Structure 1
Amino acid sequence: MRSAGTTIRGGRGWSGPCSHRPSLGPLRASPVDVAAFAKQTRSSRLVPPPPKLRGEYGSNKRSYVEEYDVREAETLAETDMVSPVVVAKIIESLAIGHFQELSGDRSDVPRSAEMKDLDLTFMLSRITFSFADLPSTSDTIEAETCFKPQKVSFKRDFAVRNKTAGGAAVAAATSTYVLVNFKTRKLSIAPKEMVDQYADFSTKDSSILGASLPRKGKLASLSPDDAEVCSSYVVEASDIDLNGHVGASVYIHWILDSAVAQGQRLDKISSLDVEYKQECFLGERIQCLTRSQDAEDGSGREIDHLVQTEEENVLLRARSSFHA
């Protein structure tokens, strides 16, 4: 499903010129705000990931590969170039697909028997993307992942390739998932037997993906006093995933929305580094703050992001980078 021209739904969110910490007030978008965003994207933060065409283990079962049909995926305005939000959704979907195979649980938030017994679930803690060439809707996309289970966190890496372009790189990502008690929402430690059961399906060697993985950087300690509010939202029911909080890719949409408000073109994105700090729930009022500067090497622009509640509870910190 494509939106006609904006991320804004039902007058409940806006994105436009940044301003210094305005009152949220009634969250309504002016026609100027919508027109500005429509120049960048036809996407909605609620669009599901593209449908999967196939899924299978790699040759040594240390990695897992899926293929996606992006013909009807959300695109950047006036082009057939797939939005970077779609890449994030593919990566999110791939991680779920892999663990469905590993655990035998085909639910949308798969959990092993041990996880169910201990009321454990996975939550994304950090993800770092590098982007190469975004594909078009006429291309076939292949994504591959491998992971390394640990006591407290599971490391997972990704490579996204354009099969139509001979396997050219689309994006790569590295991430950390933590185990959380579904009832108490507190961090938990994985039992040794849970880690050991994946020994034949995990690896410390991410080079099997054949991709140059990004390195997470030090994120700025951005505060509301040295940033600008670029967009605001009220969390809708359809923003909530099956873990009961705002889905990870929804935040990415919010971040990229703010980058557009800062004048950046999404087809110029080179990297995105996101650290999730707290959960966010239905009905909460959200502020997306930014601070933009030239990249130190002169290659383009960098934007520091802070996403927080109206009460200034920090939900995430991030940095996005764009080519000149």
Structure 2
Amino acid sequence: MMRVMAMKMSVAASSSSTSLHLQRPWPVKKEEALLATAAVSYARKGEVRGLRAMVSSGGSVGGGGGGNGNIRVSVDKVNGRKVNGVVHGSESPLSLGKGIALVGDDGGGGMVSVNAFKLGRFVEDIHVYRQNFVIRSYEIGPDKTATMETLMNLLQETALNHVMSSGLASDGFGATHEMSLRKLIWVVTRINIQVEKYSRWGDVVEIDTWVAASGKNGMRRDWIIRDYSTQQIITRATSNWVMMNRETRRLSKIPEQVREEVKPFYLDRKVFFDGSCVNEKIDKLTEDTAEYIRSGLAPRWSDMDVNQHVNNVKYIGWILESVPLHVLEDYHLTSMTLEYRRECRQSNLLESLTSMTTSEAHEDTVTINSRKAELGSTHILRLQEDKAEIVRARAEWQRKKYI
């Protein structure tokens, strides 16, 4: 086993015990700080086995005694803003786990649960899971705002942490215990995301997610993204999921045992109230109807997820490869619907087809902020060899000065 130094953090002492409660790897105020270090242990294939914290100074801080101290990291804000799902004392969620490391005079320590860094919490009992994120510099595009791929990745991360924090997760990627026993995984069939405002670098967003039944053999997952500082809803999204056998790659009915696992978490609440998100048919594009075609798109190893198919977020980048450059430069995506039709593997070669329309053809389509889209587009992502469809998509665009 190999031990690697992972981070340095400041901690504040309060009394004469030997427990260390880790909440955040960011420094507290200088006058309250005591330098500590943390180490992560790895096993084969990079599996994190644990995290250990060691105090690098022998005395107590702000206490008057020497030797040991009751040390608690209580770092809630960066630049005056609450970040990444910080919670306080009695608000500590199910998702934080135990989060305890023991330290002594010799600088040794116990192991900290990795669950201590899930960074989210349940609200509204167990029905809504909430997590905060800071928009990083590598998550913005040329216009200095978060990209559609960034938003989709944050939605996916929140959904997976929701499952992990619920206690339902097994070894699978978002799979429950009963699903893993039956070799089942969740696959998304359709997702719609509508954006009123794109966050900028350094902004903090708050994401809520919940699940509900969708027909007899499906599940719906919804999300709301808020600007943390204003609490304004800036994005809404909804999605439909079905089960697939990870070995046969065939769709499956939801076993009753799985239904009983997830049913207590269902919340009968829709994220769209005005009918702005309906399951309208997305028109098929061909070589004759598409205005722009981009061929030779090759999935990479880094595009694959743990279920050994292309991660659904990756498709957005390939879809946009056939969108005219002036549209990408001058317009924001205000709405995007993706309809997933089949899997894509690393060995596949893809082509992207796009057709653009003006606002006259979309007068009946309204975005969540009641502004009519100025442009509409239809997309197909398909296998280059046999033209089999991977994804159909529809999008709406607004000039960047308005959003």
- The TM-score normalised by the length of structure 2 is 0.62
Secondary structure of 1:99 counterpart: helix
Match of 2:139 among 57, 71, 74: 74
User: Which residue is equivalent to 1:275?
Assistant: 339
Rounded to whole Å, the distance in 1 between the matches of 2:177 and 2:274 is 33
For the structure 1 residues 242 and 136, does the alpha-carbon distance in structure 2 shift closer, same or farther, using more than 3 Å as the test?
A: same
Question: Is 1:202 the equivalent of 2:266?
Answer: yes
In structure 1, give the amino acid aligned to 2:288: D
Q: Which runs of 5 or more residues in structure 1 are unaligned?
A: 1-50
Question: What pairs up with 1:9-48 in 2 under 5 angstroms?
Answer: none
For the structure 1 residues 206 and 266, does the alpha-carbon distance in structure 2 shift closer, same or farther, using more than 3 Å as the test?
A: farther
Question: Is 1:293 the equivalent of 2:357?
Answer: yes
Rounded to whole Å, the distance in 2 between the matches of 1:74 and 1:219 is 29
User: Which residue is equivalent to 2:322?
Assistant: 258
CA contact (8 A) 1:239 1:250 kept: yes
Secondary structure of 2:144 counterpart: coil
User: Which residue is equivalent to 1:218?
Assistant: 281
Rounded to whole Å, the distance in 2 between the matches of 1:266 and 1:100 is 39
Rounded to whole Å, the distance in 1 between the matches of 2:269 and 2:160 is 21
In structure 2, give the amino acid aligned to 1:214: C
For the structure 1 residues 142 and 248, does the alpha-carbon distance in structure 2 shift closer, same or farther, using more than 3 Å as the test?
A: same
Rounded to whole Å, the distance in 2 between the matches of 1:198 and 1:142 is 24
Which protein is bigger by CA-based radius of gyration?
A: 2
Secondary structure of 2:257 counterpart: helix
| Deviation, structure 1 residue 71 | 2.8
Secondary structure of 1:258 counterpart: coil
For the structure 1 residues 210 and 103, does the alpha-carbon distance in structure 2 shift closer, same or farther, using more than 3 Å as the test?
A: farther
Question: What pairs up with 1:164-175 in 2 under 5 angstroms?
Answer: 164=229, 166-175=230-239
Question: Is 1:64 the equivalent of 2:129?
Answer: yes
For the structure 1 residues 156 and 62, does the alpha-carbon distance in structure 2 shift closer, same or farther, using more than 3 Å as the test?
A: same
| Deviation, structure 1 residue 170 | 2.2
Rounded to whole Å, the distance in 2 between the matches of 1:56 and 1:205 is 19
Rounded to whole Å, the distance in 1 between the matches of 2:263 and 2:213 is 8
- Which segment is superposed worse, 250-259 or 51-60? 51-60
CA contact (8 A) 1:256 1:266 kept: no
CA contact (8 A) 1:66 1:142 kept: yes
The RMSD of aligned alpha carbons is 2.4
For the structure 1 residues 170 and 259, does the alpha-carbon distance in structure 2 shift closer, same or farther, using more than 3 Å as the test?
A: farther
Q: Which runs of 5 or more residues in structure 2 are unaligned?
A: 1-82, 86-118, 364-371
Rounded to whole Å, the distance in 1 between the matches of 2:167 and 2:339 is 26
In structure 2, give the amino acid aligned to 1:93: E
In structure 2, give the amino acid aligned to 1:192: E
For the structure 1 residues 277 and 210, does the alpha-carbon distance in structure 2 shift closer, same or farther, using more than 3 Å as the test?
A: closer
Secondary structure of 1:225 counterpart: coil
In structure 1, give the amino acid aligned to 2:375: R
Rounded to whole Å, the distance in 2 between the matches of 1:52 and 1:163 is 11
Secondary structure of 1:274 counterpart: strand
Rounded to whole Å, the distance in 2 between the matches of 1:199 and 1:213 is 27
CA contact (8 A) 1:180 1:187 kept: yes
Identity %: 21
CA contact (8 A) 2:149 2:316 kept: yes
User: Which residue is equivalent to 1:317?
Assistant: 392
Rounded to whole Å, the distance in 1 between the matches of 2:134 and 2:276 is 24
Deviations 1:252-297 (A, max 9, x none): 1222333354633475211000000010101211100011111322
CA contact (8 A) 1:84 1:266 kept: no
| Deviation, structure 1 residue 224 | 2.8
In structure 2, give the amino acid aligned to 1:314: E
Question: Is 1:143 the equivalent of 2:207?
Answer: yes
Secondary structure of 2:288 counterpart: helix
Q: Flag as ranges the 4+ runs of structure 1 deviating above 6 A.
A: 209-213
CA contact (8 A) 1:130 1:213 kept: no
Q: Whose RCO is larger (CA < 8 A, sep 6+)?
A: 1
Rounded to whole Å, the distance in 2 between the matches of 1:299 and 1:275 is 20
User: Which residue is equivalent to 1:155?
Assistant: 220
Deviations 1:140-184 (A, max 9, x none): 1111111114542111111111112x1122211110011000000
Match of 1:302 among 354, 376, 382: 376
Secondary structure of 2:392 counterpart: strand
Rounded to whole Å, the distance in 1 between the matches of 2:331 and 2:172 is 30
Question: Is 1:114 the equivalent of 2:178?
Answer: yes
